[in-house]
Amino acid sequence: MLTLAKRCKISAAESRLETVAGHDVLLVKRFDREKVEAGYLRHRMVSALTLLRADATVADRTRWSYVGLAEELRRVSANPTKDAAELFRRMCFNALISNTDDHPRNHAVIAKDRRWTLSPAYDLTPSRQASLDHRDLAMTAGDLGRHAHAQNLVSQCKRFFVDPPEAEDIIAKMKAQVAKEWRNVARKGGVSHADCEKIKGAFVYPRFSFPLQPDG
């Protein structure tokens, strides 16, 4: 999914697969560390959970919000226009791969100097779903709450510095790319045909962009 995200023009953590003792191991390069001559520098990093002033409990879930996080990026980011638009792309990607593990601890800002910026994307995981009609994200995405639906993603796009026509274009292109490439990317990464069959329902679920009825 890190590879697929990059193909969808998302800034994602660097990674590679290695074989260790006969097992496939995913190595993800830490972006909060930097090797220098004297050792390693540790960059400051703050999770979205902290930015949203939330807890990791179900009771505090009303604070989990992409829209709220976009507003916080306006406040803390050195380049809020760029970072908020990047967050919009990640929200769309998570909806298209049915990533229900997109909670606020899986988003962060990082400072390698005095300036805060959105960290690379990490922990991107497709989830098998029982419903073909409705998917939810872990965080509020728009007027329809957590609903992982194109109409909901566009509803508050201006808060991410993205105009509706651009938002619709981003979603359309990303939807086509995910649908076309997810299986090839997965197979190239060592995912078996059988496992691809198990997770295929996670990608671009049937009613992702189907017009919603007025009652939602």
Q: How far from the centroid of its chain's Cα atoms is residue 106's Cα?
A: 8
Q: Does the pLDDT of residue 215 top 60, yes or no?
A: no
Q: Where are the domains of the chain?
A: 11-202
pLDDT for position 135:
95
pLDDT for the residue 129: 80
C-alpha to C-alpha distance for 212 and 216, rounded to whole angstroms: 6
Beta-carbon count within 10 A of 104 CB: 25
SS3 126: coil
Q: What is the DSSP track for 43-63?
A: -EEEEHHHHTT--SSGGGGGG
Maximum distance among all alpha carbons in the chain?
Answer: 61
Q: Are 195 and 203 in contact (CB under 8 A)?
A: no
Amino acid identity of residue 158, one-letter, is: K
From the list 189, 177, 19, the residue with the least C-alpha distance to 89 is: 177
pLDDT, one tens digit per residue, over 97-142 is: 999 999 999 999 999 999 999 999 999 999 988 788 999 999 999 9
Phi, psi of 160 (to 5 degrees): -100, 15
CATH of 11-202, one of 1.20.120, 1.10.3470, 3.40.1170, 1.10.1070: 1.10.1070
Instruction: Give Cα 184 distance to the centre of its chain.
Output: 20
Quick one: three-class SS letters along 85-122? HHHHHHHHHHHHCCCCCCCHHHCEEEECCCCEEECCEC
Query: pTM for the whole thing?
Result: 0.94
* pLDDT at residue number 216: 46
Distance CA 170, CA 193 (A): 29
Mean pLDDT for the stretch of residues 71-100 = 97
Position 214 scores a pLDDT of: 61
pLDDT at 6 over 90: yes
Residue 183 makes CB contacts below 8 A (sequence gap 6+) with 196, 200
> pLDDT tens across 155-209, in order?
999 999 999 999 999 999 999 999 999 999 999 998 999 999 999 999 999 999 9
Cα 185 to Cα 4: distance, rounded to the nearest angstrom: 7
- Whether the per-residue pLDDT at 151 is higher than 50: the answer is yes
pLDDT digits (tens, 9 = 90+) for 18-69: 999 999 899 999 999 998 898 899 999 999 999 999 998 878 899 999 999 9
